[in-house]
Amino acid sequence: MRAPVVILLLFCGCVEQGHEEPQGLARPSLVHVGTLEDPVLDEASGLARSQHDPDLLWIINDGGAKPRIHATDHRGASRGVVRVAGARNVDWEDLASFRWRGAPYLLIADIGDNDAQRKMLSLYIIEEPNLETDDLPTVQPLWRIDFTYPDGARDAEAIAVDAASERVFVLTKRDIPAVLYELPLVPPGDDILTATRVGAIGSLPVPRRQDVEYAPLSKDWYWQPTAMDIAADNLAALIMTYRAVYVYRRNVDDAWFAAFSRRPLVIDIRGYRDAEAAVFSADGESIFVTVEQQHAPLLRIDLNGAVAK
């Protein structure tokens, strides 16, 4: 498996931290590859690659929708819908796929909390359905992780799974800067867990005071993270905000927080408002992105284009 080539690139017009754009670097291409044909998907809030089929993606709808996962191909054509029995979509905000002990799984993150009032958040782990062999209109969660934060309620829309270390990472949305928390992938019991605070992600943009004050009028919260994912090779991760996708690389022995503390590759997506879902492709050479709207565009970022000239 070839890992994506990652360089240091900052998008034009970034004033939040006074960065200057490096010279002599090629931008990754952003291609509109399709449209989500399922009309039910009007607020796609999470994307995950399939562990069974490299040409398949799983999608969830935002809070208030029915507890279902939707399958689509890389052009947006619907491939099926599976109901998650025993789950409630209070505010589903992200989706992750991973392999653990040889089996494929999906993690559904019910972590949205716009008003920071929820007393408990939930993660549902299901075995990924195989659409080629299974006739499963309904699946049951294999286990559930209920948790709180150690420092009060938080809104979050971004989650990622490192199956090798059996850790789940949650990135908050409204903290400035965003804060990374972690949880065990397999909890020791049924008790409500308290997430561990890892630290603030200083490599993400920090808004100016006037940006924060004007955001309710402009509807531009460019600094807020809306998605996160770890690549299949466990050596690359992405964080997406409303304006850009940030790609980080690490060495095998690096902690993720150390990787997130370095300067990332930054890919401008400001032409697509309400981008809330992003995921690496199965081979790690592309990133898929979609937005919250009916018949939303499905976008692909080709990371092979990110090479020095």
The more confident residue out of 15 and 153 is 153
Give the pLDDT score at 27: 64
Q: Is the confidence at residue 87, as pLDDT, over 80?
A: yes
Rounded to 10 degrees, the C-alpha dihedral 10/13/18/22 comes to 40
Does residue 281 sit within a domain? Answer: yes
Q: Read off the DSSP letter of residue 12.
A: T
pLDDT tens-digit profile of 186-224?
998 889 999 999 999 999 999 999 999 999 998 899 999
The boundaries of the domain holding residue 60 are 29-305
Judge whether 6 lies within some domain. Answer: no
Closest among 223, 263, 229, 268 to 245, alpha carbons compared: 268
In a domain, 14, yes or no: no
Is residue 307 pLDDT above 70, yes or no?
no
**Token pair for 30:** 């952003």
Rounded percentage of the chain residues whose pLDDT exceeds 90: 81
The residue type found at 85 is A
Angle, vertex CA 297, rays to CA 8 and CA 220, nearest 5: 60
CATH number assigned to the domain comprising residue 192: 2.115.10
Check residue 274 and give its pLDDT: 87
The tally of domains found in the chain comes to 1
Place of tokens 């939040």: 16
Amino acid, single-letter form, for residue 119:
K
- With cut-offs at 50, 70 and 90, classify the pLDDT of residue 308: very low
Give the whole-angstrom CA distance, residue 153 versus residue 95.
Answer: 21
Of 118-122, 216-220, 244-248, least confident by mean pLDDT is 216-220
Residue 29: per-residue pLDDT:
73
Confidence of residue 26 (pLDDT cuts 50, 70, 90): very low
What per-residue confidence (pLDDT) applies to 301?
Answer: 96
12 domain residue, yes or no: no
> CB within 8 A of 9, min separation 6: which ones?
21, 22, 25, 27, 265, 266, 267, 306
In a domain, 84, yes or no: yes
The answer to whether position 46 is within a domain reads yes
Answer whether residue 67 is part of any domain.
yes
- Chain CA centroid to CA 47, Å: 7
Q: Rounded distance, CA 3 to CA 7, Å?
A: 13
What is the rounded average pLDDT of the residues 271-277?
89
Question: Would residue 134 count as lying in a domain?
Answer: yes
4 near 283, Cβ under 8 Å?
A: no
List the structure tokens of 145: 């992780």
